[in-house]
Amino acid sequence: MSDHVYKKIELVGSSKASVEDAIQNAISSASKSLTHLDWFEVQEVRGHIQDGAVGHYQVTLKVGFRLVD
Amino acid sequence: MSDHVYKKIELVGSSKASVEDAIQNAISSASKSLTHLDWFEVQEVRGHIQDGAVGHYQVTLKVGFRLVD
Amino acid sequence: MSDHVYKKIELVGSSKASVEDAIQNAISSASKSLTHLDWFEVQEVRGHIQDGAVGHYQVTLKVGFRLVD
Amino acid sequence: MSDHVYKKIELVGSSKASVEDAIQNAISSASKSLTHLDWFEVQEVRGHIQDGAVGHYQVTLKVGFRLVD
Amino acid sequence: MSDHVYKKIELVGSSKASVEDAIQNAISSASKSLTHLDWFEVQEVRGHIQDGAVGHYQVTLKVGFRLVD
Amino acid sequence: MSDHVYKKIELVGSSKASVEDAIQNAISSASKSLTHLDWFEVQEVRGHIQDGAVGHYQVTLKVGFRLVD
Amino acid sequence: MSDHVYKKIELVGSSKASVEDAIQNAISSASKSLTHLDWFEVQEVRGHIQDGAVGHYQVTLKVGFRLVD
Amino acid sequence: MSDHVYKKIELVGSSKASVEDAIQNAISSASKSLTHLDWFEVQEVRGHIQDGAVGHYQVTLKVGFRLVD
Amino acid sequence: MSDHVYKKIELVGSSKASVEDAIQNAISSASKSLTHLDWFEVQEVRGHIQDGAVGHYQVTLKVGFRLVD
Amino acid sequence: MSDHVYKKIELVGSSKASVEDAIQNAISSASKSLTHLDWFEVQEVRGHIQDGAVGHYQVTLKVGFRLVD
Amino acid sequence: MSDHVYKKIELVGSSKASVEDAIQNAISSASKSLTHLDWFEVQEVRGHIQDGAVGHYQVTLKVGFRLVD
Amino acid sequence: MSDHVYKKIELVGSSKASVEDAIQNAISSASKSLTHLDWFEVQEVRGHIQDGAVGHYQVTLKVGFRLVD
C-alpha cells in the first residue's frame, strides 16, 4: 500500500439464509458499480421477525475500496 | 406504522451449532409468550469453550414487539 | 468460581467459510499453547473482498482462560 | 430516595408530529399498566421517510419506575 | 423486504427553527437526487450560538435508501 | 448450559452505604419475583449528594436469569 | 479561526416545553457570565415523568466558547 | 425542578482505602467552593499499583450542581 | 451558515511520513472531484508495520462538504 | 517517565467480598510473574448470583507495566 | 499521589501546523491561569479545509490539574 | 492471508517529540521479541504536562502479529 486513498461506503445487505449471505449480497451489489473493493467491516446485525422466526437478517457493513488516481 | 408504541426486551440465546441458531432459539422462546414480535438487534456474540472448541454460542439480542392498545 | 483470576487475550481468526469457522480457528490456535480456556467474546467482524465476493472473514475475539495458581 | 429499587424498560414511541410527541406517546402507553413512573432517557432518534419527508419519528427511550416493596 | 440491498449516506441538515426542521431539510435535499429513501437515524445534534441564543440547529443523520437492481 | 434462553432486565439499586450494597439491594428485589437469577452486569454508578457528602449510591445493573421452558 | 483556543463546559438545561427550549435555557444561562459563546453539542436527552406525562425535558449539552487572549 | 440550569464539572478523587472513599474525597473538595451540589456520575475507576497491591484508587466523576439565577 | 445541507463521506488516507500527511492526502484526493469541502473529523489512526517500523500511517476521516442547491 | 514502553494486559479478578477485593486479587496474581506493575484501569464489573445474593464480584481490569529494556 | 483531588477541563486547541502544535497551544493557554497542570487526554482531532488542504487542525483535549487544598 | 491466526497486544509508547515517535517507540520495543508484526491501531493519545508544555506524548496502541503455526 503506497500513498493510496480509500473510500468507505455503508451498505445494508439482507438475506433469509444467514449473516454471511447478507454480507455477500451487499458486496455483490457494490461490485456491480465499483471496482477495487478491498475490505468490509460489519457494523450491526439485526433483522425482521415473521411468524416467530427470523424473517430476514439485515447486516450493516462498511465497504472500503481504493480510489483510482 | 402509525403512532404505535413498541417494547424492546433483551434475551440471550444459546446454541452449539451457529450464531444464527442461537438467534433463532431466543426468538422462538420469546414467541411462546409474546405476540407482534417485529424485529431483533444483535448486541453481543460470545460463548463457552470446551476441549479447545466452541462449546456454545451465546448471542445477546434485543427483540422489539408492538404493544397492543 | 472461587477467587480465581482469569486472563483475556485478543486474537483474530480468519476463514474463507464462515464467521463461526473463523472463531473456531482462533480458539484452536489458542488451545495449542494454553489450557483452561473458558470463554470468548467477539469484538469485531470484518474481512477481505476478492473478485466481488468475501475472500476471508476476519473475526477479532477475546479469549478468557483461568490462571493456574 | 431511600434504599428503593427501580426498574428500567425500553420503549419506542412513534409520532408524525415531533420528537417530543413520540416521547410522550411512549410514556402514555407505559402509564397505562405501570405506576411510579419516574424518569426517561432518550436512547435513539430515527424514523421513516415517505414521499421525501419525515413519515414518522421513532424515539427509543428507557423509562424508569420504582418497584413497590 | 426480500434480499434487497440498502445504502446509507450521512447528511447534516441545519435550521434556525427546530431539530425536526433540520432533519426535514436534510431529507428534502436528499430526495432531490435519490429515490427509494426509506429511513433516517439521528447521529448528533449540535449548533451555532449567536447573541446568546441558538443560531442554527445542525443535525447529523444517516439516510437509508434501497439500491435499485 | 445447553440451548437455554436467558432474559436480562435492567434495575437500579440504591444504598447509603456502598456500591456493593446498592448492587445487593437490586438483586434482593429481583429475587422476590424471579427465579434462576444467574449473573449481573454493572452499567453505571452514580448518586445523590447531600450536605457535601454522598447521599445515596445508585447502581444501574443488568440481571440475567434463565427462562424456564 | 486562527490559532485560538476554546473551552467547552457541560450544562444541563431543563424545560417543560420542548428539547429546543431546554437547550435555549442552558445557553441563556451561560451567556450571562460568558462571552464569545460559539457552538453547542447535545450529549443526552432525558427528563422527569409526572402524572403519566413528560414533566421536564433535561438536555445535557456542551457549550464551546473562545478564550480571550 | 423547574427551568433550572445545572453545570457539570469533572473531578478525579483518590484514596488508598476504597472506591467509595475516592468518590467522597472528590465531593468534599468540590463542596468547599461550590454550593447546590446535586448528583455525581462515575466515569472511570483506575489506580496506581505499588509493591504488588493497589496503591491508590483514582475515580473520575462528574459532579452536577444547580446554577443560581 | 443558513439552512444549508452538508454531506459527509468517509475516506482513508495513507502516508509513510506522518498522521498529518495521511490526512492531507485524503483531502487532496477528495478535492479533485468535490467542491465546497468544509471540515474533516478523524475517526481512526492505524497503519502497517514493516521491518519493525511504521510502514504506513492510515487515517480514517470523515470529510464534510456543502451540497449546492 | 522518559521514552519507556509499557504493556497492558487484561485480567479478571473475582471475590466474594467486594469490588476492591476482586481488583486486588487480580493484581496480586499479576505480581507473581511480572515486575514493574504501574497502574490498572477497571473495564467492567459483573458477577454471579447465588441464592438471591451476590455470589462473586468479577472485575475486568487492564494492568499496565513497564517493559524493561 | 496521596489523597489529592484533580479537576479536568476540556479545551480545543487549533494550529495550522500539526496535531502536536494544536495540543501545545491549548496547554499554553491553560497554563496562563492555572497551576499544577499534570496531564492531558486527546478527545477528538478534526479541522477546517481551505482550498483543498488542511486549514487548521482542531484538537479537543482534557487537561487535568491538581486542586490545591 | 489464508486461515492464519493473529494476536493483538496493547502497548503504550512515549516520546517527548511527537505522536508518531511514540508509536514508533512502541513498535520498536515489540519487534525486539516478536516477529511477523503486521499492523497497529491507535487507541488513545495522552501525555504529561511539565512547565506549561507537553512533557511526553503517551500513545496507547494495539499491535497485531501473525501466530506461527
B1 in any annotated domain: no
pLDDT of residue G2: 61
User: Considering its fold, how many domains does chain G have in total?
Assistant: 1
pLDDT of residue F10: 98
Q: Is the pLDDT of residue L67 over 80?
A: yes
DSSP of C3-66, one letter per residue? S-EEEEEEEEEEESS-HHHHHHHHHHHHHHH---EEEEEEEEEEEEEETTEEEEEEEEEEEEEE
Q: Is the pLDDT of residue J28 over 60?
A: yes
Other Cβ atoms closer than 10 A to G69: 8
Reference J32, options H18, C68, G60, A28; nearest CA is C68
pLDDT (mean) for K8-35: 97
Q: What is the CATH number of the domain that holds G57?
A: 3.30.1660.10
Q: Closest approach of chain D CAs to the CA of F3, in angstroms? A: 26
F54 in any annotated domain: yes
Other Cβ atoms closer than 10 A to D44: 12
Q: Which residues of E touch D19 (CB under 8 A)?
A: 19-20
pLDDT per residue over C5-63, tens digit each? 999 999 999 999 999 999 999 999 999 999 999 999 999 999 999 999 999 999 999 99
What global pTM score does this model have?
0.96
H1 in any annotated domain: no
Max distance between CA atoms of chain I, in angstroms, equals 52
pLDDT of residue E45: 98
Q: Which pLDDT band, with edges at 50, 70 and 90, does H68 fall under?
A: confident
pLDDT per residue over D13-42, tens digit each? 999 999 999 999 999 999 999 999 999 999
pLDDT per residue over H25-64, tens digit each? 999 999 999 999 999 999 999 999 999 999 999 999 999 9
Please enumerate in sequence order all residues whose Cβ is within 8 A of that of C5, keeping only pairs 6 or more positions apart, or say none: C66, C67, J11, J12, J13, J14, J25, J26, J29, J30
C1 in any annotated domain: no
pLDDT (mean) for J13-42: 97
- Among E3, E9, E62, the residue with its CB nearest the CB of A14 is E3
Q: Is the pLDDT of residue J69 over 80?
A: no
Q: Which three three-digit cell numbers place residue D60? A: 427509543
% chain J with pLDDT above 90: 93
Residue K46: its H or E element: strand K37-50
- Among B44, B46, B52, the residue with its CB nearest the CB of C27 is B52
Q: Closest approach of chain K CAs to the CA of I34, in angstroms? A: 9
G24 in any annotated domain: yes
DSSP of J15-62, one letter per residue? ESS-HHHHHHHHHHHHHHH---EEEEEEEEEEEEEETTEEEEEEEEEE
Q: Which pLDDT band, with edges at 50, 70 and 90, does G1 fall under?
A: very low
- Among J44, J49, J53, the residue with its CB nearest the CB of F38 is J49
pLDDT of residue A1: 46
pLDDT per residue over E4-47, tens digit each? 999 999 999 999 999 999 999 999 999 999 999 999 999 999 99
pLDDT of residue J68: 86
Determine whether K67 is exposed, middle or buried from the number of CB atoms within 10 Å of its CB (0-12, 13-18, 19+): middle
E59 in any annotated domain: yes
Which chain C residue has the Cα nearest residue J48?
C1
Hey, are the CB atoms on E10 and I7 less than 8 Å from each other? yes
Placement of cell 434475551 in the chain: B11
Reference E41, options E17, E14, E65, E68; nearest CA is E65
Which chain G residue has the Cα nearest residue H4?
G14
> Of the given ranges (B1-5, G29-33, G59-63), which has the lowest mean pLDDT?
B1-5
Range C16-31 burial, b when 16+ CB lie within 10 A, else e: bebbbbbbbbbbebbb
Q: Is the pLDDT of residue A30 over 50?
A: yes
Q: List phi, psi (to 5°) of G25.
A: -60, -40
Chain J touching partners, 3 or more CB pairs below 8 A = C, F, H, L
pLDDT of residue E2: 61
Q: With a CB-CB cutoff of 8 Å, which residues 1-40 of chain C face chain A?
A: 18-19
pLDDT of residue H3: 83
Q: Which residues of C touch B48 (CB under 8 A)?
A: 38-39
- CB–CB of A22/A14 below 8 Å? yes
- CB–CB of F62/F41 below 8 Å? yes
In 3-state terms, what secondary structure has residue L25? helix
Which chain K residue has the Cα nearest residue H25?
K5
Written in H, E and C, the secondary structure of K47-65 is EEEECCEEEEEEEEEEEEE
Hey, are the CB atoms on A46 and B39 less than 8 Å from each other? yes
In 3-state terms, what secondary structure has residue I69? coil
Which chain B residue has the Cα nearest residue D50?
B1
K41 in any annotated domain: yes
CA separation, residue G30 to residues G59, K63, K65, L44 (Å): 14, 21, 24, 31
pLDDT of residue B68: 86
In 3-state terms, what secondary structure has residue A33? helix
Reference C7, options C49, C59, C68; nearest CA is C68
The stretches in chain F having pLDDT less than 70 are: 1-2
Note down the domain range covering F32: 6-66
pLDDT of residue K1: 46
pLDDT of residue L19: 98
% chain A with pLDDT above 90: 93
- CB–CB of H56/K1 below 8 Å? yes
J1 in any annotated domain: no
Reference K62, options K38, K35, K46; nearest CA is K38
Q: Which pLDDT band, with edges at 50, 70 and 90, does K68 fall under?
A: confident
pLDDT of residue K18: 98
Q: Which three three-digit cell numbers place residue A46? A: 439485526
Mean pLDDT of chain A: 95
pLDDT per residue over B10-63, tens digit each? 999 999 999 999 999 999 999 999 999 999 999 999 999 999 999 999 999 999
pLDDT of residue D68: 85
Q: Which residues of A touch I26 (CB under 8 A)?
A: 5
Residue K32: its H or E element: helix K19-33
